[in-house]
Amino acid sequence: MNDTSTYMRETQIFRENWIRFVHEIQDQICHALELADGQAAFHEDEWQRNPDGSGGGGKTRIIADGKLIEKGGVNTSVVFGSVSEKMRLQLKIDGEKWFACGISLVIHPLNPYVPTTHANWRYFELYDQSGNIKDRWFGGGADLTPYYLFEEDATHFHQTLKSAIDPFGIHLYPSYKKACDEYFSNSHRNNEMRGIGGVFYDYLRPVDEKDAERLFSFQQENANAFLRAYMPIIERRRYETFGEKQIEWQQIRRGRYVEFNLIHDRGTLFGLKTNGRTESILMSLPPRARWVYDHQPVSGSQEDKLLQACLHPRDWV
């Protein structure tokens, strides 16, 4: 077997291992969330991009109307296709064909004292006319969107992510934390963050096969840290008493979440520009949101405390 054939086989195995991991972590996260909810279960909708199976597909899993989770989704996709002119112009992709596989999740709890969370871990390949890999990279991260700020929760979430990342370089967490603060913000609202951040990274390109395996392990550690970061926060806050005031504030902040996802989020835009499955792409939106004209929380209130944390990013660890 020549060097080209060996390389093609190795990259195929690499893709297959990543696909397998994505489906395994989907199962783990869904199982943990179902146990925590105790009432609702995930409904799986398996889909294909094209009726004949070309273009790939995915597994959309949705949970709703539970004791804990008002709406959530944990989705995986394994998709591929030709690079369209629209992708070249708007996404700055220069190649002939592409492949992408990843998992994306958003959980919107019922209780306003339990934060919304989002995470995704993905892998992308770009090919030339001969089918050789021209470019490839990993991306992902996780972030927290509370409606009421509990500093111990913010510290726990960030510290857990940092602990997963530090073995790969202690300089990485501060960089990816800063990138998250900058990315998950509404520039049209004076760069107001939609939450208190987490980590975000993109275009992590391996320099060789050994480095590709290192980045694979990095993705695994980040994904495996998610439940350790989020589940303890759920258990601390799920039984907090709330009323209409807290629900109204939750819905106002959810409005900010919707604005970011529809205006700025690159994953949403990529999915829509590549003829992705609209229902799966827009599952991230909350079931209820509210827009109140020029709403300003009372200075010094718990609502204002959260807003100030969104306006002025802080170091939580």
Average pLDDT per consecutive 10 residues, the chain (317 residues; last block may be shorter): 74 95 98 98 93 85 98 96 82 87 97 98 94 94 98 98 98 98 96 97 95 98 98 98 98 97 87 79 93 96 98 96
Residue whose pair of structure tokens reads 């980590």 in the numeric block: 199
- pLDDT value for 141: 98
pLDDT at 54: 73
Please state the pTM of the whole predicted model: 0.94
Q: What is the pLDDT of residue 251?
A: 98
Please, what sign has the CA dihedral across residues 19, 22, 27, 30?
negative
- Return the exposure string of 42-75: e unless at least 16 CB atoms fall within 10 Å of the residue's CB, then b: beebeeebeeeeebbbbbbbbbeebebbbbbbbb
Supply the residues annotated as catalytic. Answer: 118
Fold classification of 3-311 (topology level): oxygen-dependent coproporphyrinogen oxidase (3.40.1500)
- The pLDDT value given to residue 276: 74
